[in-house]
Structure 1
Amino acid sequence: MKIIKSVFTFSVVLLLISCLGFSKKEEVSKVPYKPSKETKVAYFASGCFWCVEAIFESVTGVEEAVSGYAGGFTKNPTYQSIGTGKTGHAEAVAVYYNPEKASFETLVTVFFGSHDPTTVNGQNPDYGTQYRSIAFYENDKEKAIIDNAISKLNKEVYNGKIATEVTKLTKFYEAEEYHQDFEKRNPNQSYVKAVSVPRLNKFKKKFPSLLKKEVH
């Protein structure tokens, strides 16, 4: 996204603009989210975090999704630094959820069902290590759930081609404030209209039973 969020076709390149072109002066403060004692957090990366955040926030039981960076080795990454592809980090999302309404298994289903896990280092139209597919885990139970999902999907759907990394979370860095709820706050932004909204609508059509009532 540092240069322009597409290398797919020349026409799409002209249509889409870099989210770095989104002025920080346009930032809008949001009410701080305060998770309850029962709230759990799961972490996923599958392309542009604007898209991923919007998808998870449409799911029943998800209280909040926060865009950020994870999976790398550089401390305190920024959007500009991860755009170089040299920090090791990927654009990721922290998903705050109520385990009584959404299980970790459900979130894994959402993750694999909302992107192409066979693509190495990217999701169309964004490519680079910062857009790679990663399912993070914090304990053995979560890792087993992810591994089982991959095994089943490789056998039944993807013919052993899943490229998703399964990585233990070490640190999640929250992204700059202007990235949070980007799709909701910028409905007319060109990338949002051309990529984020269609990706969300595709997910909603595929998993209507998982959606919050207000997003049907």
Structure 2
Amino acid sequence: MNIVRIPFSILLLLLTTSCQPKNKSDKPETPQIVKETVAPKVEISLEELQNYETAYFASGCFWCVEAIFESVKGVKEVFSGYSGGTEKDPTYEQVAYGRTHHAEAVEVYYDPGVISFTELVQVFFGSHDPTTLNRQGPDRGAQYRSIAFYKNEKQKKIIISYIAQLESKNIYGRPIVTEVSEFEIFYKAEEYHQDYEKRNPNNSYIRNVSIPRLNRFKKNFKSYLKEDSH
């Protein structure tokens, strides 16, 4: 299994923009989301998606994570959503304000004949900082924690083995705090979150955090990219 050494930008940690909706007071309020386009995401039929395997990850704001996995060869579709908690049918407001135990997560539909689960795990660890507890870049809180979900013992062993290799080579310089959790359920996020980066290129968070994060990933994982993602 190859280890990819990823230089992680300090700039990302210093940015003040955040995926989390801002409160003007201590009392939570409904997030004010700027919807720069109302075009719905063109979804693939359920029948077609059933031909693919699924994998689940959480590594900060799902706008960023969705865009990263959608650039990977063998990945057919990615949905933003919520997982890792016990509450039923969570909303963005509840998750983003830390009112649930869920994290912002993604559901990845992929072709194992093109890309393996092991390679998706490499993408996951290579596209975020797994050493920051309950934080990813400017986004803070358990809802932005790092989680690698597994659906069976084989996947669990793959994740644990890869973490051990990363730590044995001191790739990040600090202990990895990623949760390795058995997958239970995924709740798809509200429609305006799907393909958010593509549909809202002028959003300040997308310009300052999401796109730079995606570009860093592309620079380090060129061989993993779809032809139209270079």
TM-score, with length taken from structure 2: 0.84
Matching residue of 2:26? none
Aligned residues: 207
**Unmatched runs of 5 consecutive residues or more in structure 1:** 1-7
Displacement, 1:30? 2.1
Q: 127, 152, 160: which is aligned to 1:114?
A: 127
- In the alignment, residue 28 of structure 1 is paired with which amino acid? A
Contact 1:16 1:194 in 2 (8 A): no
- In the alignment, residue 198 of structure 1 is paired with which amino acid? P
Compared CA separation, residues 128 and 17, structure 1 to 2 (3 A): closer
Counterpart mapping for 1:1-216 below 5 A: 12-13=15-16, 20-23=31-34, 26-34=37-45, 35-156=48-169, 157-158=171-172, 161-216=175-230
**Matched position secondary structure for 1:54:** helix
- In the alignment, residue 166 of structure 2 is paired with which amino acid? L
Contact 1:69 1:173 in 2 (8 A): yes
Displacement, 1:127? 0.7
Q: Return the alpha-carbon distance in structure 2 between the equivalents of residues 17 and 125 of structure 1.
A: 8
- In the alignment, residue 75 of structure 2 is paired with which amino acid? V
- In the alignment, residue 110 of structure 2 is paired with which amino acid? Y
Displacement, 1:21? 2.4
Cα offsets for 1:118-154 (capped at 9, x unmatched):
1100101101000000000110111011011111011
Q: Return the alpha-carbon distance in structure 2 between the equivalents of residues 99 and 127 of structure 1.
A: 33
TM-score, with length taken from structure 1: 0.90
**Unmatched runs of 5 consecutive residues or more in structure 2:** 1-12, 22-30
Identity value in percent: 55
Contact 2:38 2:192 in 1 (8 A): yes
Compared CA separation, residues 17 and 82, structure 1 to 2 (3 A): closer
User: What is the RMSD of the two structures over their aligned residues, measured on CA atoms?
Assistant: 2.0
Displacement, 1:37? 4.0
Q: Return the alpha-carbon distance in structure 1 between the equivalents of residues 112 and 77 of structure 2.
A: 13
